[in-house]
Amino acid sequence: MKKKENIIIIVALVVMVLAVVGVSYAAFNYSKTGTKINSITTGKVTMTYTESDNVIKIDKALPTTDETGKVRLKEGEYFDFTVSSEIVGDININYEISAKDVTDSGARKIDGSNIKLYLTKVNEDGSEEGLMAPETYNEETSANDYTGRPANEMSLYTSSMNSSENNNYRLRMYVTEEYNPQGDGGGLTFSVRINVYGKAGDKYVPLTTEEILEDNELQEETTNMFNYASNGSYISSFNDNGPQYGSEPSQVTNGLYSMEDEDGISYYYRGNVNNNNVQFGEYASDYYVYNYSYSYFQSLESCQEYNSSCSESNRVKLASAGDKMYWKIVRVNGDGSLRLIYNGTSATPDNSDLVHSYAVGQVPYNLSYNDPKYTGYTYDNGTDSFIKKEVDTWYKNALGNTEYDSKVSSGRFCSDSSGYKNASEYDSSEAIAGDLTNFYVYSSMGDKLANFMKNSPGNNAPTLKCPSTTESYGGSYRLKAGLITADELVLAGESVIVVGNSYLKQGAAAMPYWSMTPTSFSNGNANVWNENLYLYYLGVNVELALRPVINVSTENRFTSGDGTASSPYVIS
């Protein structure tokens, strides 16, 4: 019988003191309360929390942007700690890192809404993986029975261990850029204690996941399944007239499948399914976008960045107050959260125009296109692409300031810029078909998703794990909202220039939409994958639909519905 003794580790080692001094700057002082290693051992399991010698101590620090706060790395600007385990046998530990406001009751306090915390995991090579988007201090009202975290603490990160591990984490905390210290009188403080909790038990499986598995028979992958669209169509050959198509009935694939991602087993929908509809969120007020030359932008500023002639007269209403938001479940993530792609204010959008579509805008991916870096969701080591700014603006205005924001987790997103090389570097047996002059490709085209283009086709191999990149653009992110990846489109049943029947395919009216996966750089143009009746790639300066993706965490079952368009699952 699996051993299920409770292991609770409560580590209260770290105190951060924040003071706002004078009227023009904020000052940080960070001190730890001890250096003792805290551990609890029960038989075959040991968990240990160890703090490092470094402390955060920042004087005269101005309120700062996320872009700056996330990368501070000078002495006194970050705090490192380790959570490790020694596990023998079939035991799993669910653990959680949290922060607790412990500001002295007699102190003059700055409100936690003005403080942001940011946690990363430090890899062996020194690189950092963001585990959360920078978030203002916000306590959970309910406890987490799977980890032992009590109520009224801010959850920073939840994970599990079933083997001996050594995990290094890095914490940063800073004043939000919106905070204005003028007139605060100085001497304000804010303190948090970092706690770690853990419990032995089965890996946490949300009730929503259980319900999805109850409603869907899990399917087995067929051999070379991803070489075909989900309706069995494929490219059989090329000739002077272009691609020639075939159909293989044995490769018709529909239903729920599984694949590992970076957090465990992910369950993804594929093919012509119609039981993955969700209603989550609603527009709190009338929502407007700006239309200019058949493009639709989230703000007047972004519209004017596109064309300075844009004005308030270009404002059009996208949604009315009270309009509900509908989504498609792309997959259940390995951490149990649901990955959702926007489907409009109706479970059955017809895409006849933007208001009746599955999109919230229609924009270029980037305004500049003459460098490979413009394929990245971010570039130059952190500059936001034009489309990222649009996604962030939509989320902030549509969900970020509502009660639904607490259900949206900082999920993993991947702009896979790995494997960038000249197509001519493939050997003669693998050479990519077509003119190779100034044609550079990423692994998404050269190795993973478009192998039919090679003279000796290999098997397509989409992945839910973000490959490492050496480029200064693209990469792995933790975000509240992003875009779908080309890998996820292929898993859903899409195929390059093959018309399929995926649930992610557009409706009768043409409305291609962006993914966040780089494709190639050719003839001076940066290209990114998109869904365009089939998986295809276009230059980043082309205007395509904007279809946000979010990750939603819920410990409860759906409140109603069976996932069909007529009765979508409902997340309250």
Q: What is the mean pLDDT of residues 71-77?
A: 83
Could you tell me if 47 and 40 are in contact, meaning their C-beta atoms sit under 8 angstroms apart? Answer: yes
For residue 82, count other CB atoms closer than 10 A to its CB. Answer: 15
Residue 5 pLDDT level (bands cut at 50, 70, 90): very low
Q: Which of 18-32, 235-249, 284-298, 354-368 shows the lowest per-residue confidence on average (mean pLDDT)?
A: 18-32
d(CA 549, CA 551): 7
246: left (phi over 0), alpha (psi -120 to 50) or beta: beta
Average pLDDT estimate for 229-250: 88
Whole-number mean pLDDT of the chain? Answer: 85
What's the rounded mean pLDDT across residues 326-351? 95
Compute how many other C-beta atoms are within 10 angstroms of the C-beta atom of residue 252. Answer: 18
Q: What is the pLDDT of residue 229?
A: 95
Instruction: Give the torsion through C-alpha atoms of 390, 395, 400, 406, to 10 deg.
Output: -140
- pLDDT range class, residue 20, cuts 50, 70, 90: very low
| Other CB atoms within 10 Å distance of the CB of residue 356 | 15
Q: Identify whether the C-beta of residue 452 lies closer than 8 Å to the C-beta of residue 496.
A: yes
Q: Give the per-residue pLDDT at 302.
A: 98
Note the helical H segments in 397-533.
443, 486-491
Whole-number CA gyration radius for the chain:
25
Tokens of 164: 């001996």
Nearest-5° Cα angle at 452, 446 to 457: 85
Q: What is the pLDDT of residues 519-531, one digit of tens each?
A: 999 989 999 999 9
Partners of 384 in beta bridges: 378
Q: Tell me what pLDDT residue 26 has.
A: 30
The predicted pLDDT at position 18 comes to 35
Q: What is the mean pLDDT of residues 531-558?
A: 93
Residue 313 has pLDDT above 90, yes or no: yes
pLDDT exceeding 70 applies to what percent of the chain?
86
Please report which helix (H) or strand (E) contains residue 290, including its range: strand 287-292
262 pLDDT higher than 70:
yes
At residue 565 the predicted structure's pLDDT band, cuts being 50, 70 and 90, is very high
Residue 233: φ, ψ to 5° = -75, 150
Where is mean pLDDT largest: 22-31, 47-56, 268-277, 414-423?
268-277
DSSP per position, 3-27? -----------EEEEEEEETTTEEE
pLDDT in tens, 348-396: 999 989 999 999 999 999 999 999 999 999 999 889 999 999 999 999 9
CA separation, residue 330 to residues 271, 488, 502 (Å): 11, 8, 11
Among the listed residues 483, 570, 490, the one whose alpha carbon sits nearest the alpha carbon of residue 269? 490
Query: Lowest-confidence range among 160-164, 346-350, 471-475, 566-570?
Result: 160-164
Which residues does 13 contact at the CB level (< 8 Å), separation at least 6? Answer: 32, 33, 34, 36, 38, 49, 51, 81, 193, 194
Check residue 13 and give its pLDDT: 37
pLDDT at 349: 93
Strand partners, 267: 258, 332
pLDDT at 28 > cutoff 80: no
**Listed range (237-246, 285-294, 452-461, 494-503) with the worst mean pLDDT:** 452-461
Q: pLDDT: is 48 or 254 the higher one?
A: 254
For residue 25, pLDDT over 90 is answered with no
pTM: 0.81
